[in-house]
Structure 1
């Protein structure tokens, strides 16, 4: 009984300190996961030692990773996955290979390792990035479905698959005669797992979820979803693959079912609770003593790792046809060392592939890169914008950024420029087309450009907030600009630059947050639309009509709310 109380006390201690740490960093306008990491360091074995059983808390924290990736899988449609499949499959392997080769070469030349095998192993460890930290940060910033968010997640998911393969292969690295057999066995495990997953997602999971949902028992539905998520993650763990990969695949199984949104809504509170435990458990691994004793060396290693990985990733993203801005944000977003590199490094220590000193330095370096990741992601759009204006690189970057995919009539005039061809942008284009207005779409997704090309809609391929792209859009001759971008910072930058080129241009912008409505209006947008408020207005209009209100009165009420920029209905 005392042991059970001890677990409850540990669980409560971690959650309470994480809540306090998250609150404090939120007040400082920083991502809350920095507070979770700090709280783990404070209560953990290298802090005030407030926990009686760190191992059990870390085991519970693994559930947080599973729920994080399961939720991503549910939200991540296969069509989105296909959109970035090239960089996911080829780009991630190229990134892992180049990182491994560079690290192996440098560590051998500097005498950091004793042989080629150790250099390669260290390179593999450093090549992986953090799916959990990046995913959490992107979700907090509302950038999961931006182009750079999709590219990051595609590379990270592919890395998780390779990580699982490496964990399965590791025991045979010190036995050259059995490496071929180990590679074959690892590949077989991956193939069997993926084949079984496809079969389950087609013939078993839809029927199971539908039958459970038919009972209309919310509790039973939640238990079934949790069992599916953790069950598939456990299977991958038993196969020697990564838990992250299993949970993501479980989410993909559910994503094709009609009740996927309901499943996601049920899992989200659990995901956030256990994800908090996970980030706190990462903080528990940070040893301030080791950091202080080797501060200078670790600082150098952090700089080399984050700068080196960014330099390797940036040209790879550009090579696959993405813009320089997307490449810069992506390279700064996944240039850390992944949390599951801890697991790989510990296994390498037991195998004699790295020394204990290297292992401790690796822990400190990894922990700091994880802490810095949210900060890098926050400032990466600003850095990307500033980097493109550096005189030294201006000529080179102008050639790279210059939009080469154009389909614009020579005599285009009086057209409406639509920035963004996502779900909202497509609807705007359809409305304008049906009324016979000339259109020009700016989009940085290759898949969207292919659809525009097939529909013979004029387009420019590139970032809509790029000055060089806007110069090609003939804004001075345009009748209006509709901004339907998923990224708030890009929306503000585009509005500012568009009005600089054409000060009298009518701009309609989509607002992502309530506080942006007044900001975008002050910046010069003629109309700012908040999708949630618009949905509420439509529901309210239908409700008033059903209550017998006259159409003229309803129209007047809705019109006044819009003129007042939703002030009368905004939440306090």
Structure 2
């Protein structure tokens, strides 16, 4: 007898929440991209994965999603909030500050990539409307995956990071006309009317509807939030966010547009208000959950068996997609002023398909614009491109560094004379702000040093200023042996990336067990990891900053300077004592 629940899809909801509770912290701990993790779990537990065996193995029905319909409604909610969160990032001020990259390089990238991909689809014998839709949607990259990779690499503030973010913003905006175009082409195909006339009429209608929703919403949302925000009740504020998102999405659907587009407009409206940051804080706990829901559902729709059925087709599709987009983006970034090395890195970073492909191809398949079987294979190719993106990002950085090294080799490579002069000097790994300050203080005291920097352009600029800075990775044992590291008074690691610093400490301690090794850490947790790896002394930035801030506060309250110094020194000693119990070779 079939079991019925008053609450629909209860089993699917409970299973998803259980998986999310396990996956999110696990992926964070293992430093695995959450998007890729949820895609993989969705594919594994979905109707094309272990769900296929649910009929033969009854207990699997409780651990899998045999029917994707069970989470489709929740996935639609995930899509809307994904669009809403993207809208929050697309404020007019931010778009204007990056207008050259957004509207110049971004527009050119979408148009050129869409034309090339669409032409390739036509050459494969597909219809013109299919080529148009696939060309446009595959020209978009994954905002979720790329932004998380840049956050992990702490490269968002670099020139490459700004250019990448700008192109992604334009791609997100391009979803609006693409969703409208799908609706027009679907209706046009059904009615058999003149396509050009339909497109113009629908675009005019959509533009009028969006402008009306935007203008009316702008006049309503700010006063509404102001009137209720004064009560400082989080539950009321959360209700307003949901009302705004779902209400504007409903208005958008009533105007003949998609609800996802309405959610994007809601995010854009709130991005222009003084409540933007409060809204971001309110939805932050749900952000990973909703995105996980969306990407897990996407994974459930991916039939991995197609990899066995069409391995050559999928391999060519993924390689072709990455090759076309990476080439177009690299050329545009070079024209925009980036070096070839960084342009190549940016091209490979943005070479994958995007999450919007799963939404758009789903709509297009339902409307008869894309053959469902072809749509399924294209979505699988996009999913594979997402999985290989971290590898492409590493490859891009390695190729970019190699290119930079080639260009600046004359100025930044160690010569034999440099090797001789490097004996007995302090070695600094990473010559950013912290490394440059250390180098300045050492020079003032007449202490010699030699520094290595992974950024070839920065190394070249500093070397030309007469500083002993060279391109290279000081974590490499062969490089350290070349500069006689065993004779160095100390090695100082000032690099930004936590994982790179940890690998460097382990490698250096393995090759040079007795050398004094000083390391910069981002926080206390990383400091403990570096101590366990063998660092002699670790200085966590957040701890030292908090001590200095506390000292200023105590002095402002009337405490004497020597009292404050004693309090701060005692707190530092307690921390060093606790840190000293973590690993060997501690210096207090």
TM-score by length of structure 2 reads 0.69
Query: What does 1:336-485 align with in structure 2 at a 5 Å threshold?
Result: 336-350=352-366, 352-377=368-393, 380-389=396-405, 394=406, 466-475=458-467
Residue 2 of structure 1: aligned partner: 4
Instruction: Provide the C-alpha distance between the structure 1 equivalents of 2:267 and 2:519, rounded to a whole number of angstroms.
Output: 33
Q: How many residues align?
A: 495
Query: Map of 1:214-253 to 2, 5 A cutoff?
Result: 214-236=230-252, 239=255, 246-253=262-269
Where does residue 183 of structure 1 map in the other structure?
Answer: 200
Encode CA deviations 1:498-526: one digit per residue, 9 max, x unaligned: xxxxxxxxxx9986454666999999999
Residues 306-332 of structure 1: CA deviation (Å, up to 9, x unaligned): 222111111112222234454334322
| Match of residue 95, structure 2, among 81, 98, 116 | 81
Give per-residue Cα distances to partners, 1:14-41, cap 9 Å, x unaligned.
Answer: 2323444556555654223332112211
In the other structure, the counterpart of 1:153 is 165
Q: Residue in 1 aligned with 2:49?
A: 47
Distance 1:253 1:296, change over 3 A: same
Corresponding residue SS for 1:2: coil
Q: In 2, Cα distance between the equivalents of 1:3 and 1:138?
A: 44
Match of residue 540 from structure 1: 550
TM-aligned CA deviation for residue 219 of structure 1: 0.9
Q: Which residue of 2 aligns with 1:90?
A: 104
More off after superposition, 350-359 vs 303-312 = 350-359
Q: Deviations over 1:250-291 (max 9, x none)?
A: 334334544433322211111122111112111101112212
Q: Distance in 2 between matches of 1:476 and 1:45?
A: 60
Higher deviation after alignment, 33-42 or 346-355: 346-355
Residue 163 (1) aligns with residue 175 (2): yes
TM-score (ref. length: structure 1) = 0.71
Q: Confirm whether residue 304 of structure 1 aligns to residue 320 of structure 2.
A: yes
Does the 8 A contact of 1:60 with 1:277 survive in 2? yes
Change in 2 beyond 3 A, CA 1:142/1:60: farther
- Please report how far the alpha carbon of residue 293 of structure 1 lies from its aligned counterpart in structure 2 after TM superposition: 1.2
Report the alpha carbon displacement of residue 234 of structure 1 after superposing the two structures with TM. Answer: 4.4
Larger CA Rg, structure 1 vs 2 = 2
Secondary structure of 1:298's partner?
helix
Instruction: Output the CA distance in 2 between the equivalents of 1:60 and 1:283.
Output: 14
Matched, 1:558 2:555: no
Distance 1:149 1:255 in 2: 21
CA deviations 1:131-186 (Å, max 9, x no partner) are 33334444555555554444333323322332321222233364572323423432
Q: What SS does the aligned partner of 1:385 have?
A: helix
Return the alpha-carbon distance in structure 1 between the equivalents of residues 456 and 224 of structure 2.
Answer: 44
Counterpart-to-counterpart distance in 2, 1:7 and 1:70: 25
Q: Quote the Cα distance in structure 1 between the aligned partners of 2:211 and 2:579.
A: 49
Q: Which residue of 2 aligns with 1:275?
A: 291
Is 1:99–2:113 an aligned residue pair?
yes
2:444 corresponds to: none
Between the aligned partners of 2:11 and 2:161, the Cα distance in structure 1 is: 37
Contiguous gaps of at least 5 residues in structure 1: 400-417, 429-462, 478-482, 494-507
Q: Does the Cα contact within 8 Å between 2:302 and 2:376 map onto a contact in 1?
A: no
Distance 2:396 2:574 in 1: 35
Aligned to 2:73: 59
Cα distance, 1:197 vs. partner?
2.8
Distance 1:163 1:323, change over 3 A: same
- Unaligned stretches of 5+ residues in structure 2: 52-63, 411-430, 438-454, 470-492, 504-517, 583-588
CA RMSD of aligned residues (A): 4.7
| Mapped partners of 1:471, 1:568: distance in 2 | 40
Relative distance call for 1:184 and 1:569 in structure 2 (3 A) is farther
